C-alpha cells in the first residue's frame, strides 16, 4: 500500500490532498501559499513525512485539446524544481476541468453577513477550499486509473 499526495498547482496556491492506493480513499488536506520552489518543497516535505507519503501526483493543466500550453510548462518547471528536493516519485495526471468540477461539488461561495457579496477573506477561503478539492479530484482520478489497470501500488 502506498500513500500519495495529490497536488493542484496554481500560480498563487497549491491545493493538497492525501490518499491511499489500497483503499482508494482520498481527502482534501490543505492549501499552501505558493512561494519559491525550495519553500514549497519544505512545506510538502513536512506533509509527506507526517502522512507517510511515497509519491506525488501532480495535476497537469492541459489545454482543452489535450496539448500542453504555457500553464502546463510552468507546472512542469515548478515540479522540476521541487522533485529533487523531496526525493519522491512524481506522477502526472490530466487536471482539465478539476477546478470547475470542485466548484460544482462545493457550490457557490457563501454570501456576506448582510446578504451581499462575500468578503475578500471569504472569497480567499473559498478559493483555497476549491484548490484542496481539485487536488482530491486529481488524486482520485489517478487512483481510479491505477485500480482499473489492476495495479494499485
Position 9 in a domain: yes
Position 57 in a domain: yes
pLDDT digits (tens, 9 = 90+) for 37-74: 999 999 999 999 999 999 999 999 999 999 999 999 99
Position 25 in a domain: yes
Q: How many domains is the chain built from?
A: 1
Q: Give the model's pLDDT for residue 91.
A: 96
What are the grid coordinates assigned to 53, written together? 507519503
With bands split at pLDDT 50, 70 and 90, how would you rate the model's confidence at 121? confident
- Which structural domain range is residue 13 located in? 3-148
CATH number at residue 33: 3.30.420.140
| Cβ atoms of 16 and 135 closer than 8 Å | yes
Average pLDDT of every residue of the chain: 89
Position 44 in a domain: yes
Position 153 in a domain: no
Matching residue, cell 490532498: 17
Instruction: Give the DSSP letter string of 33-83.
Output: EP--HHHHHHHHHHHHHHHTEEEEEEEE---TTS---HHHHHHHHHHHHHH
Q: Is residue 153 pLDDT above 60, yes or no?
A: no
Q: Give the model's pLDDT for residue 98.
A: 77
Amino acid at each position: 500500500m502506498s500513500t500519495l499526495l495529490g497536488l493542484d498547482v496554481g500560480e498563487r496556491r497549491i491545493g493538497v490532498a492525501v490518499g491511499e492506493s489500497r483503499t482508494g480513499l482520498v481527502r482534501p488536506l490543505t492549501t499552501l501559499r505558493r512561494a519559491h520552489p525550495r519553500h514549497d518543497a519544505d512545506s510538502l516535505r513536512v506533509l509527506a513525512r507526517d502522512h507517510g507519503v511515497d509519491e506525488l501526483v501532480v495535476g497537469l493543466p492541459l489545454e482543452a485539446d489535450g496539448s500542453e500550453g504555457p500553464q502546463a510548462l510552468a507546472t512542469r518547471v515548478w515540479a522540476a524544481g521541487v522533485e529533487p528536493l523531496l526525493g519522491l516519485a512524481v506522477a502526472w495526471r490530466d487536471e482539465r476541468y478539476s477546478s470547475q468540477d470542485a466548484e460544482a461539488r462545493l457550490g457557490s461561495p457563501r454570501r456576506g453577513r448582510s446578504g451581499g457579496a462575500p468578503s475578500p477573506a471569504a472569497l480567499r477561503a473559498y478559493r483555497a477550499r476549491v484548490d484542496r478539492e481539485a487536488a482530491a479530484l486529481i488524486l482520485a482520478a489517478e487512483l481510479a486509473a491505477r485500480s482499473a489497470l489492476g495495479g494499485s501500488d
